[in-house]
Amino acid sequence: MKNFFIILAMKIVYLGLKILGKNGGNLLGKIAYDWNPNIFRYFKINCPIIAVTATNGKTMTNNAIGYVFQEAGKKVISNTEGNNMETGILSTLLKHCSLTGKIKADYLVFEVDEGYVPVVFKDLKLDTLVILDFFRDQLDRNGEVESLILRINEFLKTYSGNLILNNDDPNVARLGHANPNNSNVYYFSVEKYEHATEKIKEAGEGKFCPFCNTRIEYEYYQYSHIGKFHCPNCNFGNNDIYKIATNIDLKNRTFQVDGITYQTKFNSIYNIYNFVAVITCASLYQIDTQILQKAIANFVLNNGRLEELSIQNIPTIINLAKNPTGANVSLRILNEDDTEKELLFVLNDNMADGFDVSWIWDINFDTLNHVSRIVTSGTRAYDIAIRIKTAGFDVHKIEPYLDLNEAVKALYQTNIKKYVIANYTSLQPTRNEILKLS
Amino acid sequence: MQVGGADQEQSILAKDLIQYKDNIKEAVKEGVFFLLICGAYQLFGKYYKDVEGNIIPGLEIFDYYTEAILDRKKRCIGNIVIEVSLNDIKTKIIGFENHGGQTFDIDTPFGDVLLGNGNKFGDNKEGFFLPNVIATYLHGPLLSKNPELSDYIIQYCLKRKYQEEIILEPLDDSFENLCRKQLIERFLKNN
């Protein structure tokens, strides 16, 4: 009975929020969870639940899976706005359930914060879990990445649903061994792309085999520690691949899986990994390939995540980077573009960003391709300016501004193409400041 | 220079390093400069006692020791500012600390804590100092944030190598100084 009233109360709050034109973020879930942390058990869900977790790429992959299933005519409920902790997922459920906790959908698709998978799916039955990657991220909040992986590994020991794993990330591939009785493990991979390297180019994790402590060997690195690897001692990493992307062409934004060519609106290697995960997932639910092909061709994210804009006729690319790997892949996109460009890097150190900004020292600023000027801003504008200066970039071409408005104005004083990298709390303010000029 | 790392890497490293214990002790005695951060700071002490009470032996170069705080969720995390004395000149050092270990028995600390924790929760002392050893929980990173400290280390090493007083040619530290000014004002505002 109690849960009935909690849901009723939350429905009323939600109605109020809607009248005020607000979405409420994770507010509903937060109130309900404080009221009864076991409320997840109350929901009556009769459709498959698909979850995506990772350090980077959760939102894109989650939204792309939801989009593909919708295009296939399915009713999908999803947390597309990125509220991915237990209270955020609870909010999504509360908004869509009946007073008796019934949820009518063909699929529930959730992105879940990598620290919250065991919490959320203690009481919700998970059908498919997609794991993309684990990188160093907000050490002051999450601790070492290893402890995070161990918690998920513990959860997976008793999990027997579909498990979709990136075989090119040793931190992820190892989780396929968590439950040796689970026959539903599917590995995906991406063939070597044009800018792959023999040596690691950016900071990475997992240099040693988690099973026998031997140094892992790589045939090549795609980016960070993502690449073709195996353990020379115990053969860890040598798995049967369920889906592999081949013929990666980032210029034309195409790749192939099972001989079918996919066109996308994205031009980065990490997006290809996300799409192969999406294709793997769609294949497990028998989504028609033509629908999949069309959905992937049309899928976009207009929220400052690799968003392409034209501001006063100046091409501008904005991307979120909240950890070294996120920033490094953004710089890869910049470096793979041979035209002249200017960079704006905005770095905040608010609570949601993590107070520790030392992660910027794991960003590889060493060889910037045709970057003629760098403007920095955010509460840590000087920190990032110093980082870039230390990498050898001409100090006279670096302009730090604590004030974001001034920084954006300074950036658009020239007509040169812009790349903008902003971290978590600085992304939307930066995007808004830029959009003001258009 | 040596820093901390994830547990797996740290234990592989510790096992390897312990073979060279005597050589390291000798080098410290001869005045070779050591900058030890976080895990390395702890490793150079007598031991590290983990949450379960297991004793992980250190290199026993110095007499201090470290114990993990029993509550796993508690760590000394946050921005930190300390005041140190380098060649008798007082200067503020800015960094970020993130450690569960509490280090005891330090006679010669690196600095006085102005903001943050230091060697233990709520301590007023941070790190361990000898003219040729700076052991600290501060990353940040330490050197780029604190040009005076970098100069001290460079000067010490040059002096030791060439056996004469070296005066460093000034570098353009304008970004570093702006950064220090901004952060010190911000961090110490509420203190």
Distance of CA A167 to the CA centre of its chain: 17
Residue B73's pLDDT band (cuts 50, 70, 90): confident
B118 in a structural domain: yes
Report, as an integer, the average pLDDT of B3-28: 80
Residue A207's pLDDT band (cuts 50, 70, 90): confident
If you search the block for the tokens 């929901």, which residue do you land on? A43
Instruction: Kindly state the tokens that stand for B181.
Output: 């000014």
What is the Cα–Cα distance from A333 to A330, expressed in whole angstroms? 5
The residue ranges of every structural domain in chain A are: 2-298, 307-435
For residue A109, what pLDDT is reported?
98
Report, as an integer, the average pLDDT of B28-40: 95
Average pLDDT in chain B: 91
Residue A15's pLDDT band (cuts 50, 70, 90): confident
CA distances from B137 to B73, B77, B101, B128 (A): 18, 10, 10, 10
Note whether B39 contacts A: Cβ–Cβ < 8 A: no
For residue B149, what pLDDT is reported?
97
Average pLDDT in chain A: 94
For residue B56, what pLDDT is reported?
86
For residue B50, what pLDDT is reported?
85
Q: Which of B98, B141, B179 sits opposite A382 (nearest CB)?
A: B179
For residue A141, what pLDDT is reported?
64
What is the Cα–Cα distance from A387 to A390, expressed in whole angstroms? 5
A140/B178 CB distance under 8 A = no
Three-state SS for A64?
helix
- Calculate the dihedral angle through the C-alpha atoms of A357, A165, A110, A328, rounding to the nearest 10 degrees: 30
Pick the range with the lowest mean pLDDT from A129-138, A299-308, A358-367, A420-429. A299-308
Whether residue A400 is predicted with pLDDT greater than 70 in this model: the reply is: yes
B27 in a structural domain: yes
In this structure, the number of other CB atoms found within 10 A of the CB of residue A291 comes to 15
Q: What is the DSSP code (8-state) at residue B50?
A: -
What is the Cα–Cα distance from A313 to A324, expressed in whole angstroms? 30
DSSP A94-127: HHHB-TT-EE--SEEEEE--TTTHHHHTTTSPPS
Residue B32's pLDDT band (cuts 50, 70, 90): very high
In this structure, the number of other CB atoms found within 10 A of the CB of residue A317 comes to 19
Tens-place pLDDT, residues A135-153: 988 766 666 788 889 999 9
DSSP A189-213: EE---TT-BSS--S--S--B-TTT-
Query: How many residue pairs bridge chain A and chain B with CB atoms within 8 Å of each other?
Result: 54
How would you write A354-408 as a 3-class SS string? Answer: CCCCHHHHHCCCCCCCCEEEEEEECCCHHHHHHHHHHCCCCHHHEEECCCHHHHH
Residue B3's pLDDT band (cuts 50, 70, 90): low
Instruction: Kindly state the tokens that stand for A328.
Output: 């490094």
B1 in a structural domain: no
Residue B8's pLDDT band (cuts 50, 70, 90): low
Instruction: Kindly state the tokens that stand for B41.
Output: 């700071």
B157 is catalytic: no
For residue B25, what pLDDT is reported?
96
For residue A2, what pLDDT is reported?
84
B141/A358 CB distance under 8 A = yes
Mode of pairing for the β-strands spanning B125-126 and B111-115 = antiparallel
Residues 6 or more apart whose Cβ sits within 8 Å of residue A143: none
Pick the range with the lowest mean pLDDT from A17-26, A41-50, A300-309. A17-26
Instruction: Kindly state the tokens that stand for B3.
Output: 């820093």
In total, chain A counts a number of residues equal to 438
For residue A202, what pLDDT is reported?
82
For residue B18, what pLDDT is reported?
87
For residue B6, what pLDDT is reported?
57
Tens-place pLDDT, residues B35-64: 999 989 999 999 999 888 888 889 999 999
B2 in a structural domain: no
B33 in a structural domain: yes
Whether residue A64 is predicted with pLDDT greater than 60 in this model: the reply is: yes
If you search the block for the tokens 């004469």, which residue do you land on? B164
Whether residue A278 is predicted with pLDDT greater than 70 in this model: the reply is: yes
For residue A18, what pLDDT is reported?
85
Q: Which residues of chain A are within 8 Å of residue B7 when distances are taken between CB atoms?
A: 144, 146
Residue A90's pLDDT band (cuts 50, 70, 90): very high
Whether residue B181 is predicted with pLDDT greater than 90 in this model: the reply is: yes
Residue A367's pLDDT band (cuts 50, 70, 90): confident
Considering chain A, what percentage of its residues have pLDDT values greater than 70?
Answer: 99
Q: Which residues of chain B are within 8 Å of residue A345 when distances are taken between CB atoms?
A: none
Pick the range with the lowest mean pLDDT from A165-179, A185-199, A204-218, A280-294. A204-218
Tens-place pLDDT, residues A338-347: 999 999 999 9
Report, as an integer, the average pLDDT of A30-36: 90
CATH number of the domain enclosing B55: 3.40.50.880
Domain span at residue B82? 7-188
How many structural domains are present in chain B?
Answer: 1
Tens-place pLDDT, residues B111-146: 999 999 999 999 999 999 999 999 999 987 899 999
For residue A234, what pLDDT is reported?
96
CATH classification for the domain delimited by A2-298, as one of 3.30.450.20, 1.10.3720.10, 3.20.20.10, 3.40.1190.10:
3.40.1190.10
Tens-place pLDDT, residues A303-313: 788 899 999 99
B99 is catalytic: no
Chain B nearest-CA distance from A140, in A, is 7
B122 in a structural domain: yes
Whether residue B5 is predicted with pLDDT greater than 70 in this model: the reply is: no
Residue type (1 letter), A64: A
B11: nearest CA partner in chain A: A213
For residue A145, what pLDDT is reported?
82
Tell me the CATH number for domain A307-435. 3.90.190.20
Chain A interface residues (partner B, CB cutoff 8 A):
139-140, 144-146, 205, 207-208, 210, 213, 355-358, 361, 382-383, 385-387, 389-390, 395, 398, 400, 402
For residue B191, what pLDDT is reported?
63
Whether residue A352 is predicted with pLDDT greater than 90 in this model: the reply is: no
